[in-house]
Chain A
Amino acid sequence: MTRGMLARRGLPATVAALAAAVAGAARAEPRLASLFLFIPANPGGGWDALGRAIEQVARPAGLVGRVQFENLAGAGGTVGLPRFVATRRGRADSLIVAGTAMVGASLINRSPLGPQDLPPVARLTGEAGVVVVPADSPFRDIGQLAAALRTDPGSVAVAGAGGGTLDHIILGLMLRALGRRAAEARFVAFPGGGPSQAAVLGSQVQAAISGWGEFAEQVRSGRVRALATTGERRLDPAVPSLREAGIDVVATNWRGVLAAPGIRPEARAALAALMTELHALPAWRTLLAERGWDDAFLTGADFEAFLERDRAQTATVLKELGLA
């Protein structure tokens, strides 16, 4: 009850804070008169949410003047990508929201264009995955599950959201780290996180891999047991990361923005500076906390290096799965 009240009082307060920010910044010229944000997914999903969040914070703070959106969904972003490239080439005011799913989709669909063909600007958020088992599972910790996977990967049916998705890739990376092959995974694909959660709750499968956010409440209520998370560090003090448990796997569902190909280096640097300023705003931290998004800010050469690593890692597993 109290949490609900807090949430409802908290929100108008945030709105008021944002309004104050507008008043303060309105006099100054925005850094960028207008920004075009291309979202290669439908409204309601994670990419759309990130795009709208950028507007929600950047505009009142006077970073940008007007923000225009275009949504074109399909095939993990690979339908929107060519359209963005064709219509916005060389434009200094254009960004496309991208993320993990686009890397995988462009490899699987063998698209002529992939996120690697666009100048990276910034990684903004990241969500670690989690390995869970039903509450009554014989696997008490990640070590026991790892041992079972090492001796016979076929003995454990693992649920996740779709073949070739991050869930599947994480399982593949785990098996590789355990000295097995990704293709040996007994992966049961469900259409999305909800049905995959239902399968674990009903003990239809022995384990599941999904985003931490989707399972956090089930873990807290004790209906499923979290064995490990897939990020660099712990998300829950009681749950180790895979790396801590001796399985050398780090994989997160990242989201960020890329620029249009053919833009001048200064323009790209300006966009990166814009994102850096956005990231520094207190309103951005508030928003991240409210949405439960993990800050994963990265820009410049670091982001480029990350993208290359991410693509290579994803490609290795997908090749083994016969998908790329």
Chain B
Amino acid sequence: MRKLALFLSMILFVGLQTMSAQTKAVSGKVVDDLGEAIPGVSIIVKGTTIGTITRPDGTYNLNVPENAPAIIFTFVGMKMQEVPYTGQATINATLVSDTEDLDEVVVTAMGIVREKRTTTYQTEKVKSEELLVGQASKAAEGLTGKVAGLQINNQDNGVNPKKQILLRGMRSISGNNEALIVIDGSIVTSGAFNDLNPNDIESINILKGASAAALYGSRAANGALIVVTKQGQKGKKLTVGINHATSWESVAYMPDFQTEYGIGWDGEDNPVENTNWGARFDGVVKQIGPTFADGSYQAVPYAPIEDNLKDFYNTGVTNQTTAYLSGGDETSTFYLSLGRTDAEGIVPSDEYSRYTARVNVSKQIGSVKLSANTSFLTDETDVVGDKIGDQDRPLYWFVLNTPANIPLSEYSDWDNPESYGYADNYFNAYYQNPYWAIGTNRNVDETNRFVGNVSASWDIFDNINLTGRLGANNSWGNGKDWRAEQTYDATLQPYHSTVSSFVEDFEFQRDIYTTDVILSGDFNVATDVTLKAILGSSTYSYKYRESTLIAKNLSIPGFYDISNGTGQLEGKVDQSEKRTYGFYGDFTFGYKNWAFLTLTGRQDYTSTLSSDNNSYFYPAVGLSLVLTDAIEALKNNDVLSYAKLTLSNSTVYNDLNPYQINERYYKRTNSAGDVLNPFPYGSINGFDKSASAVDSDIKKEKLNTTEVGLNLGFFGSRINLDASYYHTKTTDLITYTTPSYTSGASGYLTNIGQLTGKGFELSLGGRVLNVGDFKWDLNVNFSTQTTTVDEIIDGVNEVALDSYTSGYGTYAVVGEAFPQIKAVSYVRHDGKVVVDSESGDPIVGEIENQGRTTPKYIYGLTTQFGYKGLKLSTTWDLRTDYVYYAQGLDAMEFTGRTEESVRANREDFVWPNSVYETSPGVYVDNTNVAITNGVGGFWRDKYGEINECYIRNASNLKVRELALSYDLPKSILSKTNIIEKMTVGFVARNLYTWFPDGQTRFSDPEFRNTDEGDDSNGVGIGGYFTSPPTRSFGFNVNIEF
């Protein structure tokens, strides 16, 4: 483009060089807003024909008449700039892009490209460089904080972490609330997105609501992420590049611990306890652990060891390297990449490696363009098991069950019988050495994934195109989870039971195939009236199969094969299959290029509903008005460069999951997938009747969305503002309601009630400062979203989401924000806690609402300072007004490691600000009835019975990304003659997290309890299933040749 402009400029200026008397020499340099030289800029003395063009390095020399009023710089695609002439010898200029935001094109549903001015709903685009600022190994992490209304939750911090992607909160009780992911036009699973190499992504366009995604039918309800991977460019010379990032990850913070008391029970020493109920620390060297046969024992000072648990964790290292190659000739393009990621986790010996390969090619043959976008991934994960010891506990549990005076990191030599870390010698009589756990419990698996599509696009006429696309998303893999047997010396470890061994061997295969046929045309139907018409069809087929074999009590130590088990082999197979197809039409009428009306309809057919009720029609209507073109007074305005108003309404439906429509007999399992139905016993077999009842008239779930949007550009689009308000109404929700168990069912799948969602989003951003070589870009976004349960069914006020666990859980509650945490509460009178008049213990109240589990307000901030090639970028994100249940505190209360447990100095105490009842309805202030067993028993047994005490304000501010990068100047690189571009950078991720004052920290509110099955809607409860939160630092280098 610039080359062409240069050529044209040269022709233009050949005859224009004229001589003039009384001139002064002026020189200077013209650059673009990134500070790069622009060759071929035409420079004219105002009011004359005197002029020149810039050289390849952007510089120029010109003789200017002394009386010249100004110098004018012009370049194709850039804003004209006029600089007053007052006799300066040097005049530099910075030209900024002239493309108006509204003329940009956006990739919308079904891969249809539209001019932004024509879209009737809100979308937001995140480009590659924004995504890669923090060099995260997952694309989702790079999106965090950058898009209004988009909430990314890092649900764990393992070596291959899973992300939850929510757009505009949640709107279905039992259904899926995660955004649809589309890669290069084909629907894929969230796993395919998780596995995508972020370096291969060109851009992600976020279709925030159901209106934007309406063409996807039943999968549109949660909005969509339209991912476009990198393509080569036609006619561009070969680009070869390599990107490398290394980052180091370490524990950011541990829960808040007390450090006043150590190992013991009820105020007394006990060298083998997992608890901290000993006497106050005195620094005296004392025995810990068992007394050995020779009378010796381990002894350590009875004093707290700073960070004794944190030091158990390693610094993890992730290396991510991507090499890529792209280019094209006049008719074809290609992009190839190979990526390798190796990660060592913060948990010792946790490892993950993945290889990715991508081949994107296209070829133009006459009027037909053929293209293929394919990627392949293979990965290996080797992490500590999650069913450790005879209680099947996760690793973090064992770390937390280590008293404050134990030098945990000194027990790493667990395999050596002479070491204190050896199973028989370890100090803790109840929970094993975590290093031992790492060595004797492993989950090892490998996954392969192919994601790809081929498409043919035929420009039948200038204005009519037919595109066919076939997409595949196949993943398959296998793995082994195993645990070694551990027996104990009954004298040294009398309290330990033998840990039994097992091996669980599994394989899975998931296949998704999609087809799309799209016929589109652009027509002028009348004067000033245009029509973009789209007709299409799509099919979707999904098939999954997983088989598992479990062998227990293995005969040969260290041999993890199912042949090695004793007793009956357990096993199961899970399959599911779903198919849908649909037809759609989408008609956009344009009037004078400032008014657009879109009418959309889709008819879908699904395999999961009964055949007489399995098709449905989705209508949508939208309007877009470009006010700055429509209203004469607003045209050519220096301040307001553009203004667009949108209005849309759409209806989409959700169908069922495979097989849900029928009640089935089954082998009962728990949430972890363990089979609880013990049959068969020999020849006697037995099946459980399905846990949930199913409504025989079950039908589709309906979501209606109304959205108003406003897009404004100011000062030549230097500052942009996008705002939207939306209202969603979900009715006939397909929901596992909680019936009375006396009905003989623990769930009842039926259509219920109504949920309404309301939200508002605002993004404001642009270039705040542009002084010389210094640039400051700032983007802030804000969103608020609340989904409220309006009604369930008559007589039922709530639906439990996560299976109810002793005193707390997540629910949908009528009249409350969804989802809601409920927990056993204190009984209060006039705001004071009511205690028992004899024991002094707080009275255990009912299970009550504690608050919403999704943030009410989310604020995001991204900003970038640039000076020449140097860039400093940061992303912050603030989430407020929601709660979290810190499950792990409960367990730590038992071990006496919480800060709460020392609040009363381990003495009996009067519950602060409490009252007790003397006769019915009569309360007196409690000044004398003290809680007994403050030395331990109260905290272990009573305090946590009122689960309300573990509800935490989840509000937090995170520095998600901080990055400093430097583009080496072209002037240096050009001397190498090889390197075209080189960038080096330093990055930090999750640098810091602030919680409100006085808030005891336990973990990260984004984490969730991985023991609660796959119900992704049950967020807000977490604890000891995930290692402590981490932060990471690293560097990256990008070189292009």
Chains A and B bind each other: no
